[in-house]
Structure 1
């Protein structure tokens, strides 16, 4: 996952203390003008390099981040009150840009003052070096809020459970208690495997299975795709937009018996809303509890693509096979001459 190796971002105070303490040690190792030059070079390099490393540790959201992770970050990151930004990712980009500016300014200060420390008396050199230190500290303090925000973003994103957007993925949707989680657990090794995201009331169910040596990912999204779009808040809606980039096939599970607590008409309304949002991928309507077909709402007869019973195992593999066929995933093979 592209965020898991993000390092801790130093605070401005930590970075200034680190730079100046290292500079003091460097100065003690030398004497005279050379000591002042070494102190300035050490402090400027530490500040510039550390600030640059803060920026380069992050992926380029435009080119390196899969749209799933781009939208996911946008859903999770809250815009700071003082930020002039349209989205969480936009705010993060602006903070990273400010930090890179500070990195360049540190180098410019070094280049400006280093000549002043040559061919002068020691007292003047010390005076110039202290001036340079004051300006270096001021530059770091100017991006104090940006450093704090970047570290908050890092903490929000780095521990997210991994969902691989490059694997062919089936997303399972439908009202609670229709059998989604049981289906995911039945066809994968997902029992007990959940991915906790901050925008879901329950952990997202995540599992995997193989067909013809190809690994497929199957995802259940309680708290997101088990409610109508108008009932989702802004963050949840944006999270669903992220899942749009993830899904290669949608399975909307119905309980035609209504034992789930929701009438079939409401379930079909949710199905239609999901199908409208995921119009670019195959969407199958799956009627669960086929073993209780005698209790089904008569209106279900023409509304589903496949029927199954997770409880008895009836046609569960058939549903999975239909999804795999609809995805039609073909792995990239090495070029052969």
Structure 2
């Protein structure tokens, strides 16, 4: 996952201490004017290089090749991407400024007496420290963003993906566990109350992801806060097919009419994605009849409990995805 290997960002105080302590050691190894020159070069290089490394460790949010739209939207739901990019820009400015200070003062440390050189070196150190202190808030924000993003669930947005939606207790997690080889696999979004269900299966030698997102697609849009709504927007970039599960028995605790309203709202939001309505628990003959089937207008019916038509639903989802692997060029 693109954010998991981001290094810790130093605070301004940590970076200044590191630069000046290394500079002091470099000065002790030499003498006279050479010591002052070595101290300035060491301090400036450490500050400039460390700040540049902070920036280059991050993907470039301006390019889709660096950040898939799924992860861009997800990141923007958790941190403010525009503010993060501005902070990274300020840090890069400070990196360049440190080099400019070095280039400005290094000639002043040549062909002069040691006391004057020491005076110029101290002036340069003061300016270097001031530059780093100016971006203290930016460094703190970058590190907070790193901590918030590095534990996002590892989902491959380039793999064909089926997203399962519907109210709680309609059988989504049982369905996901039933068809995947990663039973019980969960990962947590920072803005959901439960870990998402994430599984994988192979069909015709192609690996598919199947995802259940409790806390996001299990309630109407009006009940989602702003961050959750943006997270749903991220899932729009992830889903190649939506399975909306309904419980015709309403034992899930939600009336059938409410379940169908949720289905309709999901279909409206994911209008670029095939959305299939799947009625679960059709083994319950006490609640399932033809009149109910007409009311649901379900694309497919199944029973996760008995396994009835589960494979049929899975085949339908795979067909709806319509994934065609890229074949090597044959010349």
Question: TM-score, normalised on structure 2?
Answer: 0.97
1:333 equivalenced with 2:327 (yes/no): yes
Q: Deviations over 1:103-160 (max 9, x none)?
A: 0000000000000000001110000000000000000000001001100000000111
Look up the match of 2:27: 27
Equivalent residue in structure 2 for 1:76, among 50, 75, 78 = 78
2:132 equivalent to 1:152: no
Q: Distance in 2 between matches of 1:189 and 1:56?
A: 37
**Structure 2 SS opposite 1:207:** strand
> How big is each residue's C-alpha offset from its partner over 1:238-269, in whole Å with a ceiling of 9 and x where there is no partner?
11001010000000001111111111111100
Q: CA deviation at 1:312?
A: 0.4
How far 1:94 sits from its partner (Å)?
A: 0.5
Matched residue, 1:279? 271
CA distance in 1, matches of 2:44, 2:294: 73
The C-alpha deviation readout for 1:155-194, integer Å capped at 9, x for no partner, is: 0001112011011000000011110000000000232211
Give the 5 Å matches for 1:69-218.
Answer: 69-77=71-79, 88-218=80-210
1:249 and 1:323 in contact (8 A); partners too: yes
CA distance in 1, matches of 2:87, 2:259: 44
1:258 maps to which residue?
250
Instruction: Give yes or no for the alignment of 1:243 onto 2:235.
Output: yes
Q: Secondary structure at the match of 1:170?
A: strand
| Counterpart-to-counterpart distance in 2, 1:280 and 1:305 | 18
**Do 1:256 and 1:288's aligned partners in 2 also have CA atoms closer than 8 Å?**
yes
Structure-1 residue corresponding to 2:294: 301
How many angstroms does 1:301 deviate by?
A: 2.3
Hey, what's the Cα distance between the residues in 2 that align with 1:104 and 1:259? Answer: 63
Gaps of 5+ in 2: none
Residues matched between the structures, number: 327
Q: Which moved more, 1:114-123 or 1:258-267?
A: 258-267
Q: Distance in 2 between matches of 1:270 and 1:215?
A: 29
Is 1:52 the counterpart of 2:52 in the alignment? yes
CA distance in 2, matches of 1:323, 1:112: 65
Deviates most, 294-303 or 271-280: 294-303
Kindly report the root-mean-square deviation, in angstroms, between the aligned alpha carbons of the 2 structures: 1.0
Structure 1 residues 218-243: Cα deviation after superposition (integer angstroms, max 9, x where no partner): 00011110100001111110110010
Provide the secondary structure at the position in 1 that maps to 2:284: helix
Is it true that 1:313 corresponds to 2:315 in the alignment? no
CA contact (8 A) 1:257 1:293 kept: no
Q: Contact (CA 8 Å) 1:258, 1:296: kept in 2 or not? A: no
TM-score, normalization by structure 1 = 0.95
TM superposition shift of 1:290: 1.3
Asked if 1:289 is matched to 2:290, the reply is no
Q: 1:262, 1:25 → 2: CA distance? A: 70
